[in-house]
Amino acid sequence: MRSVYVETLIDAPMEQVWWATQDPGEHRRWDVRFSRIDPVPGSRPARFRYATTVLPRLTVRGWGVHAGERQRPDGTRTSALRFGSDDPRSLVAAGSGHWRYLPGPHGVRFLTGYSYTPRWGLLGRLADLAFRPLFGWATAWSFDRLRLWLTAGVPPERARANAVRDVALRLLAVVAVTAAAGAAGRTSAALALVVATSAACLIPPHPHTPAARRCRRRPPDRLAARPPRLLEHL
């Protein structure tokens, strides 16, 4: 299965990035992929249970086990994870991934690589053709949301409100332009719809609105994509 890769550059101290990503309560605030993250007390290695609201009234639950290396000789940090779900409604059966924290002159390169096995047989593999890119987009959007929080001081809750407002304004603009052109005929309305929709998708979002397009989606080197040895012990 093809792995998902996402990377962003966060201009913040390493300790702050580590705290915002390793603390379950803070992690849930910026990561749109999770509705709840509940640690299992006393577990070694550390375990947690998660819940994700896929659709209204449809919440799938799963489990995870993770470990981190906070102090490495080269100054980097690593976190490894295995995860899965026993919920038959979940497309994700089981998977693994990692986070890397690479300090540099302009901040911390925070990156992830992960993959998973879908369930439901052939139907699941076909559904995953659409789900995996969407999952990757959600990861990138969440990473940019984290970056805005730690570098620009935009809380995750405000960033979400900014995103909702941004989408609403773009949709309103498309409807208004199409309606105005509709007075000239169906052909003009159809052309206006195409042009307005293209513009709505291409215009960059406000600097304080999360955007997946700001994140790197392909690994720049082998180190970034290679799973850490820490994963072997989970």
What's the pLDDT at 228?
A: 85
Placement of tokens 């998708």 in the chain: 201
Tokens coding 56? 């209204």
For residue 125, the one-letter residue type is R
- Would you list the domain boundaries of the chain? 4-153+213-233, 160-202
Q: Distances in Å between the alpha carbon of 122 and those of 101, 127, 134, 136, 228?
A: 36, 9, 19, 21, 31
Tens of pLDDT along 102-114? 999 999 999 999 9
Once rounded to an integer, what is the mean pLDDT over residues 149-167? 97
Show the DSSP H helices in the chain as ranges.
Answer: 14-22, 24-30, 121-152, 156-182, 186-202, 222-225
Phi, psi (degrees; rounded to nearest 5) at 59:
-120, 125
Q: How far apart are CA 178 and CA 168, in angstroms?
A: 15
Q: How far apart are CA 46 and CA 24, in angstroms?
A: 11
pTM: 0.93
Percent of the chain with pLDDT over 90: 71
- Closest by CA position to 26, among listed 117, 156, 136: 156
183 pLDDT above the threshold of 80: no
134 pLDDT above the threshold of 80: yes
Of 76-80, 115-119, 126-130, 227-231, the least confident: 227-231
Higher pLDDT: 222 or 108? It is 108
Which CATH code is given to the segment(s) 4-153+213-233?
Answer: 3.30.530.20
